[in-house]
A and B are shown apart, each in its own frame.
Chain A
Amino acid sequence: MLTRSVPAILVLALAMFGVAPYFIAQAPYESTMGLVQKIFYFHVPAAIMMFLATFVCGIASVAYLAKGRAHSDRLAEAAAELTVLFGIITLISGPLWARKAWGVWWQWDARLTSTLVLWLLFSAYLLLRRFGGPGTEKLSAGVALFGMANVPFIYWSVNVWRTMHPKTTVVPSLVPEMRFPFYWCMAAFLLLFLALIKTRVRLAEQQDSLDLLLAEAEG
């Protein structure tokens, strides 16, 4: 059974998500993009959670490669799954925003392309774990390291290369009326992240216990 904290965190996160549209609706419109800019309040927290999950996966992979502890490997696998989940939200909400704001669904610029590459890397990680067979844990950990190395490149890409994507200065410069709903959504996404990663690690632990029990019964 899961500890009581996980359902409580999950319920709190979902309640915060339920209230979020009210705060987002109260936030002022952006002068050049108008209504569609409000995608920002989910798009950016989802992207930040994607990066956070990537870092958790990368650091846990380093720990697994260094010490070989099973818990690190489970944590890395859980975080990789969350990278893909939050990546889906980021990579779908972004083009919907772009279609209205830029007039195109997609631009092959540094930010968008490198984010897509990150998502593909972690999709490859999960496929490797799912179909690679025994012994792919270390190979997957190597893939996760490549993914983690990609994150700073993605973050600074908008400041270094010419792109249509908003720069990293946008969030620190938000007016208070926009800042509050943004950090509300950030908190909701962070709570969701915590609940999901704890649940996913628990699932991996239970699966390992079951595999061990079945192996003992067979042999």
Chain B
Amino acid sequence: MMACVKYQGLCRHFILHSGVLRTIPVAHAGTLKTLHRSFSSEEKESFYGSLTRNFKLMTQEFVTKLKSPNIDTMFDRSRVLWEYKGPESLKEFKVVTDATIGGQSTAKLGISRNNKLLFTGNLNTDVPKDGETVRSGFCTLKTLQQFGSFNRKVEIDLTPFTTLHLRLRGDGRAYMINMYCNSYFTLTHDDVWSYFLFTRGGPHWQNVSIPFSKFFLSSQGRVQDKQSPVDLERVTSIGLTMADAINGEFSLELGSIHVTYDATESEEFVYERYQT
């Protein structure tokens, strides 16, 4: 037994051995990875080009629907949402820092020496001098929104699952995990469900698992009074936020993100939902 394997048993979180996941094929429908045009490309698409592409996509979607690949998710007990498989995997993420509001934090995405995703940067809580911003300092890693045919947002259906798992190696700092959902009303467009992610630091990998029921609702950085559980049918992306208000460099290696069904997780939502 190696020291690092031993460590897994010491982690307080529920353990899921990475070997188990390997045997499970990546589900086709609704995973973060889909066959779509990457919008980062600069060249403009012609009208007929886009029509052809969209119709092709739509046909693909119809065929997938008819083939009913969801049949295996009915029996699946876990699904890999994201896994590092070479530099292509990095394209599924985007990094947002407080530079968007004039802050001075920096962050970047790269490949670590062990061929895993590496999210590094420097957090800076200096408030931009624009006269209205009061607080600053965040770096966010977020999976890109995937679009279906005719620019429909692709939603990931996570209803068969109860727990989110991450395999990572941090530096002792605390992060946040965010889940973003599609919603109908403008007022709820900024809704984010979050939970805290504590890293142990050190040279060993860490398995973290968080039940969806623990995610709490916040909107535009404000924890809401009226809480509700994550809309698991309409999850659009998952993200990580570094915002612990400590100036300094941070680094986090991410191996995989996956979801599982755990029968012992019977609770839908752990926070009180008072009738108001």
> Does A associate with B in a complex?
no
What residues of chain B have their CB less than 8 Å away from a CB belonging to chain A? none
